[in-house]
């Protein structure tokens, strides 16, 4: 069994020097809002719906950003957009992410969402998906710095709430222009910047790099969140020490592990972070399953639940000495919400009958 690396070991892998040790943040400010901790759940299309955001906030995330919303007015009334705009007090600070390429469309979308109760408007310039980039939106915008400036100024001028921005480190490894984009953002009035440690060309290939994030932090005075390949509290600490960022944003690492942002937040506050027991994790998933069914309805709820339970099973496979491929296949064939709950409970009994099978009982603090 490979042991979880200590913070110093992870720091060493990031070329950490004790001479550059930085103060670790314990809270985060976005305009006039102060979050309880500096760890946010990233906006992920098809993932961070209201049930997922509520769960992650309940488990300790400082903020959970909603799925990206198109700025195209023709699509704002669609069922998908309507569901993505739903919020509740249990979801915490209401940060709504918008995507598009036309400055006035984005400004209008920002105004609409602010009028609808959004606390924060986030602009997506980090998504590498082809269907987004082919419309010259998302991370494709990083190649046009003039258009970036135009969009940011239009959106900031359109609303009274804080506007934030999510980007990548640049267009390609040969053109990491993240520092230039960050300066444009600060000049335009952006109040927080999230940087994923890959370029547009990288998509999600290879390992995230944090050197450019460090340069961005040093180049601007607005808060910067570091994002990309942060999967443990130890690595979160290492990235904060390396970059000097104001906080962390967790994306794909939270799939099947909605407790991870909260565990990282606890660790950064100096608290021990025990891995949730199997019983606790199954309880979280059963509650999440019910919330998905209630939110999306009988037909879509059953289908959307499949991917969330699939991620959950993938996550526990890493901690339990068993393979659950057949269980996933069986679950994905179910057409009924009650049957899904029953199978999940059966799997829980199978796992909790042998709690000693857990390979790790604690995350590195």
pLDDT in tens, 269-316: 988 777 788 999 999 999 999 999 999 999 999 999 999 999 999 998
Per-residue model confidence (pLDDT) at position 274: 77
> Cβ(151)–Cβ(122) under 8 Å?
no
pTM > 0.85: yes or no:
yes
Which stretches of the chain score pLDDT less than 70? 1-21, 75-77, 128-137, 320-322, 353-365
pLDDT in tens, 81-99: 778 888 999 999 999 999 9
Triad 47, 295, 70: Cα angle to 5° = 50
Rounded Cα gap, residues 107 and 140, in angstroms: 19
Per-residue model confidence (pLDDT) at position 136: 55
Per-residue model confidence (pLDDT) at position 138: 73
Rounded Cα gap, residues 164 and 190, in angstroms: 5
Q: Where are the alpha helices (DSSP H) in the chain?
A: 7-13, 50-58, 79-84, 103-115, 130-133, 145-158, 178-188, 211-219, 233-243, 260-268, 278-317, 325-333, 337-352
Triad 39, 83, 327: Cα angle to 5° = 75
The correct answer on CATH 3.20.20.70 for the domain covering 7-268 is: yes
Residue 68: both structure tokens together: 């990206």
> Cβ(121)–Cβ(165) under 8 Å?
no
Per-residue model confidence (pLDDT) at position 33: 96
Q: Burial code of 103-135, b = ≥16 C-beta within 10 A, e = fewer?
A: bebbbbbbbbbbeeebbbbbbbbbbbeeebbee
Q: Is 290 helix (H, G, I), strand (E, B) or coil?
A: helix
Residue 1: both structure tokens together: 């069994």
Is residue 127 flagged as an active site residue? yes
| Residue where the block lists tokens 């709950």 | 341
| Backbone angles phi and psi of 294, in degrees to 5 | -65, -40
Per-residue model confidence (pLDDT) at position 352: 74
Q: Which of 56, 127, 133, 351 is catalytic?
A: 127
Per-residue model confidence (pLDDT) at position 83: 83
């Amino acid at each position: 069994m490979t042991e979880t690396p200590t913070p110093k070991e992870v720091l060493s892998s990031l070329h950490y020097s004790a001479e550059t040790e930085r103060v670790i943040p314990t809270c985060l400010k976005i305009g006039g809002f102060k979050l309880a901790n500096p760890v946010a759940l990233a906006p992920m299309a098809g993932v961070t719906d209201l049930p997922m955001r509520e769960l992650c906030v309940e488990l300790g995330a400082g903020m959970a950003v909603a799925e990206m919303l198109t700025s195209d007015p023709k699509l704002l009334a669609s069922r998908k957009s309507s569901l993505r705009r739903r919020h509740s007090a249990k979801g915490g600070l209401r940060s709504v992410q918008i995507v598009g390429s036309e400055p006035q469309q984005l400004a209008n979308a920002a105004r609409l969402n602010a009028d609808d109760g959004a606390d924060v408007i986030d602009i997506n310039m980090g998504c590498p998906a082809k269907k987004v980039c082919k419309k010259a939106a998302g991370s494709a915008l990083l190649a046009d710095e003039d258009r970036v400036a135009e969009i940011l100024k239009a959106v900031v001028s359109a609303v009274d709430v804080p506007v934030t921005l999510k980007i990548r480190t640049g267009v390609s490894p040969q053109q990491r222009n993240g520092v230039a984009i960050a300066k444009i953002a600060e000049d335009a009035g952006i109040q927080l910047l999230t940087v994923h440690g890959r370029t547009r060309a990288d998509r999600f290939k290879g390992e995230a790099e944090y050197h450019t994030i460090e340069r961005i932090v040093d180049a601007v005075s607005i808060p910067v969140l570091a994002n990309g390949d942060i999967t443990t509290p130890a690595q979160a600490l290492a990235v904060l020490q390396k970059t000097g960022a104001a906080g962390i944003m967790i994306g794909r690492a939270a799939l099947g592990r909605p407790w991870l942002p909260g565990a990282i937040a606890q660790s950064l506050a100096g608290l021990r972070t025990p891995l949730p027991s199997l019983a606790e994790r199954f309880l979280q998933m059963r509650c999440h399953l019910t919330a998905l069914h209630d939110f999306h309805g009988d037909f879509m709820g059953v289908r959307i639940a499949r991917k969330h339970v699939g991620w959950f099973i993938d996550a526990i496979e890493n901690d339990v000495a068993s393979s659950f491929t057949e269980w996933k296949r069986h679950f994905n064939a179910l057409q009924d919400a009650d049957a899904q709950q029953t199978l999940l409970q059966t799997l829980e009994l199978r796992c909790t009958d042998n709690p000693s099978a857990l390979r790790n009982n604690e995350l590195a603090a």
